[in-house]
């Protein structure tokens, strides 16, 4: 059975209503409760990202050569493009290296754009813009099949 985000969010808020009453009854301040809430919310987000990235790769007859997907983390941030098909690699080679690093961090490693911005020392809006540009190339490549 797959990951149902709506069910998990509903369960999360149901549990938090109980925890909130418990924390208030035991004298915790609003700031202390907020820290715990943010931690649990980040855990919920991480669980969702994990579930999304664990979905299997769907193969059809056109991509039978790539039926076994390599583990991108073994290639690293600088070499992940080497495992892509030649046509797609040629399209992506024109992008600056920082664009590709931003895409790798957000789409392959599962970092949030804010986190990738800190890692690359760039603004979040730049990261978002770069990811959109690379996504357009990927969509064009997918349509050209």
Instruction: Give the Cα separation of 86 and 109 in Å (integer).
Output: 22
pLDDT at 50: 81
Instruction: Report long-range pairs for 7-15 (Cβ below 8 Å, ≥24 apart).
Output: 8/44, 8/47, 8/48, 9/44, 12/40, 12/41, 12/44
- From first to last of its 145 residues, what are the pLDDT tens digits of the chain? 567 888 888 999 999 999 999 999 999 998 998 889 989 998 888 888 887 777 554 545 554 444 343 344 445 666 677 777 888 888 888 888 888 888 888 887 888 888 888 888 888 899 999 999 988 988 888 887 6
* 3-state DSSP assignment of residue 78: coil
pLDDT at 67: 39
Which tokens hold the place of 62?
């056109």
Instruction: Give the Cα separation of 97 and 30 in Å (integer).
Output: 44
Give the pTM.
Answer: 0.47
Number of H helices, E strands in the chain: 7, 0
């Amino acid at each position: 059975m797959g990951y149902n985000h709506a069910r998990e969010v509903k369960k999360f808020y149901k549990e938090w209503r109980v925890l909130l009453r418990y924390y208030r009854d035991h004298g915790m301040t609003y700031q202390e409760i907020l820290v715990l809430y943010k931690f649990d919310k980040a855990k919920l987000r991480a669980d969702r990202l994990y579930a999304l990235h664990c979905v299997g790769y769907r193969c059809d007859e056109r991509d039978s050569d790539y039926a076994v997907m390599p583990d991108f983390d073994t290639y690293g941030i600088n070499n992940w493009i080497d495992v892509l098909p030649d046509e797609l690699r040629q399209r992506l080679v024109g992008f600056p290296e920082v664009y590709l690093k931003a895409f790798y961090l957000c789409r392959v490693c599962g970092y949030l754009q804010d986190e990738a911005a800190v890692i690359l020392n760039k603004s979040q809006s730049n990261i978002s813009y770069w990811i959109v540009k690379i996504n357009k190339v990927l969509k064009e490549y997918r349509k050209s099949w």
